[in-house]
Amino acid sequence: MPATATLETALGALPGGYLLLDEKHCVCFATARFYQLLRCAALPCGQPLPAGLLPAELQPALRAGLAQASQQLYAGQLLDWLLTPLPDGTMLSIREDRQTFRNLIENSPDIISRYSPQLVCLYANSALARYSPIPPALHVGLGIEERGLPAHVCDAFRHASRQVLASGKPVIFENQLNHHDKHYVFESRLFPETDEHGQVQSLLCIDRDISEEHAMRLWQADENRLLEMIANDRPMKEVMVWTCHMIESQIEGSMCSIMLLDDDGLHLHVAAGPSLPDEYKGHIDGISIGASVGSCGTAAFTGEAVIVTDIQQHPYWADYAALASSHQLHCCWSYPIKSHDGRVLGTFAIYFAHACAPDRHSEYITLRTSHLMAIAIQQEQRASQLFQLATQDALTGLYNRRHFMTLAEEACGHTLLQPKPLCMLMFDLDHFKQVNDRYGHAAGDEALRSFARILQDSLRAQDLVCRMGGEEFAALLTDTTAEDAMTAAQRICTLVAQTPVLSHGQSIALTVSIGLASCVPGQTLGDMMRQADKALYEAKNAGRNRVHIAQQP
């Protein structure tokens, strides 16, 4: 028997694959196992070795005629490669590294499984145990419907399998699964495994848990929506309620609240909490902040996050544990909402009906949300400050003349559609120049503020009150008859005379003169104001500290 035939017989009986090359790297001989492992067609003898057939790492050693051993992944298989120089060529041997490959698969975080074309499970690695109540080994031999998978998972897998079997090409799809009260999202890749004739013999499936990435994508979309709402100046209540729902959709089982610190910096008020019980919100609204006042009171006081995983056992909740328990609230994470300069604006809290601690994702999105709420609150505060500057008198807090005139014009316009009585009061503090000259401008400012408080306390919230300038004030009393307006004006006149202004230890007596005019059909705001102003001067000429009513024209 020729030596070549003997070598071919010997190499063909071995489990590995072998390729003999001559000095010019042309094919002399290859075993059938070599072609099976590389999944390539037979190479004619004398043909140069095709470029790209061997891993790039072996090419330098092959060109230099050096021995080299390495482990390379080839077409999804981990193979041992060995180059052996011969006197008249090179021998290349390859062998499946079954143990290493199996170790890699068994320790992979991805679920790796193999199926017959009929979708019977042939193999499943140990990663499946994290997501299935059935041990991986017991999945083998079962059809897709027999493995306890939800119907939508079976349908998605069956649809993808049909595509792979029909096209012979891999398919990527997403699937979702609930297990142990947790929601999982998988990216599934389904690959065809073919024989030497290209016929699909089995399907290889790799399921990767992308739950965190999926949640992050949803979060980013929600965050963009929130930023749009803030940028478009949506009402603050709407923004806060939407924010609570946004976090609740991201963190399963959560109930969110946003509390804002009031102007005195000592109390928290509930601004939003759509999923919390109304009775509970009523109890905590206006709560004082402090070193151990629940999660939110403490977070607002210290400026640091307070994570209470078990309300019933935590000392911060000693005074509120029974209240929380009565509403099935057993856990509360609270994060301070801080301005750009570190001031606490409020708190963002997340409650649960069970004890739990934040994971990396929930910690990240909660901190981000707290930051976005700070931006929204500060923007709202700046808008409110700008509105106040544009509409209010800085000294007294009453409407300024311009804003008063705008609102008064609107009120007069409404009476044309629905006739209702309107009355105008014009006020002038008597001898006010003498107050400034005798007691100083600081005392004069305090006298103006004192009179503004009397007006606010004496008139209704629906009435429009303004400082026209200097010591002159005006009020438009809506839905008020001349008789009722006269009663209110006389009450104000009496209160001013009976309420001395205290400034730097000095008591300053004040009086006020008032002119009253009522609106008649077809009368303009300007006409009514001129009549009230005329009546005011009549009151002053008559001796001051009195009310005069304008005569109807």
List active site positions.
471
Q: Which helix (H) or strand (E) covers residue 241, if one does?
A: helix 236-250
- Helix, strand, or coil here: 72? strand
List the one residue out of 292, 299, 293 whose CA is nearest residue 349.
299
Tokens of 208: 């990767």
> What is the residue-wise DSSP string for 418-441?
S---EEEEEEEETTHHHHHHHH-H
Other C-beta atoms lying within 10 Å of the C-beta of residue 58: 18
Q: Which residues have CB under 8 Å from 477's CB, separation 6+? A: 422, 423, 424, 425, 459, 460, 463, 484, 485, 488
What's the CA gap between 108 and 97, in Å, rounded?
17
First vs last C-alpha separation in the chain: 139
Question: Do residues 255 and 354 lie in contact, with contact meaning Cβ atoms separated by under 8 Å?
Answer: no
Q: Where are the alpha helices (DSSP H) in 313-431?
A: 321-326, 360-391, 401-417
Tokens of 159: 């649809």
Report the alpha-carbon distance of residue 94 to residue 84 in Å, rounded: 11
d(CA 360, CA 84): 52
- For the beta carbon of residue 92, count every other beta carbon within 10 angstroms: 20
Rounded distance, CA 237 to CA 273, Å? 10
